[in-house]
């Protein structure tokens, strides 16, 4: 999986070069190419924004610099995603479907936004990570890269994907490790029993109970899936 990111702040992507994704980058399971939009400014002061037509607060990113940055990539088959509060809200199903793409180009805005004409010209889909506004699209882009990369073969084990929250539209069961007693609390007996079928049933129960208590809306979604 190839990620190209169009951003004014390439340094903000350092956090996703650590840990599991760092290893995936080293093993070339994923690639992350950061393109600084500012490098494509033709202005002697490297200006990338200007005041909005029609007036109003803040600055708007100029369409030509974004277009030239995009054109430098040269892959007509890549899917271009603009991270924006106006986009389709990301969920696990969407994450899984994006992981089937070979090449994603992520466009990050800042300030008041990007001139609409270049968005209309190059963007295939707008994606939002939730109903709130951030100062830039970089954190949403990192959320997308992290969540999608987990589905790339070899990044994490298949078991981790299958067992996790949301994969069956349910929350996960609780996890325990040593010591057997911590602050007078004992690990649930069944997990020490070695009885695999009982453990499976217990985890399924816990998973359902957790979902019912914390996210009953997900059970309703499951119900709707059965009905339809
Ligand atoms: C995306 C971008 C929130 C999201 C953003 C989100 C930057 N905020 N909910 N802020 O996924 C104007 C220009 C706001 C880009 C945008």
Give residue 83 CA to ligand 1 midpoint distance, Å: 6
* Residues belonging to the chain: 228
| Model pLDDT for residues 162-193, shown as the tens digit of each residue | 888 887 889 999 999 999 999 999 999 999 99
| Model pLDDT for residues 61-101, shown as the tens digit of each residue | 999 999 999 999 999 999 999 999 999 999 999 999 999 99
CB 3 within 8 A of CB 31: yes
CB 148 within 8 A of CB 1: yes
Report the atom number in ligand 1 closest to the C-alpha of 134: 8
Q: What is the pTM of this model?
A: 0.96
Report the atom number in ligand 1 closest to the C-alpha of 90: 11
Give residue 109 CA to ligand 1 midpoint distance, Å: 7
Kindly report the protein residue whose alpha carbon is nearest to atom 7 of ligand 1: 136
Residue among 110, 131, 120 nearest 38 (CA): 110
| Model pLDDT for residues 2-31, shown as the tens digit of each residue | 999 999 999 999 999 999 999 999 999 999
């Amino acid at each position: 999986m190839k990620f190209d990111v169009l951003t004014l702040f390439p340094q903000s992507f350092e956090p996703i070069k650590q840990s599991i994704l760092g290893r995936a980058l080293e093993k070339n399971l994923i690639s992350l190419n950061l393109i600084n939009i500012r490098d494509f400014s033709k202005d002697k002061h490297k200006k990338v924004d200007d005041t909005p037509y029609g007036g109003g607060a803040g600055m708007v990113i100029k369409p030509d610099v974004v277009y030239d940055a995009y054109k430098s990539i040269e892959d007509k088959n890549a899917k271009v995603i603009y991270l924006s509060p106006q986009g389709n809200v990301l969920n696990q199903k969407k994450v899984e479907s994006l992981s089937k793409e070979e090449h994603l180009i992520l466009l990050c805005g800042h300030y008041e936004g990007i001139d609409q004409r270049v968005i209309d010209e190059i963007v295939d889909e707008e994606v939002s990570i939730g109903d709130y506004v951030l100062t830039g699209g970089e954190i949403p882009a990192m959320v997308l890269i992290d969540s999608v990369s987990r589905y790339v073969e070899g990044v994490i084990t298949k078991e981790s994907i299958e067992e996790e929250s949301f994969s069956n539209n349910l929350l996960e069961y609780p996890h325990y490790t040593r010591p057997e007693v911590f602050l007078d609390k004992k690990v649930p007996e069944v997990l020490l029993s070695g009885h695999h079928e009982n453990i499976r049933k217990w985890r399924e129960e816990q998973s359902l109970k957790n979902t019912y208590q914390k996210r009953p809306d997900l059970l309703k979604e499951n119900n709707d899936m059965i009905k339809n």
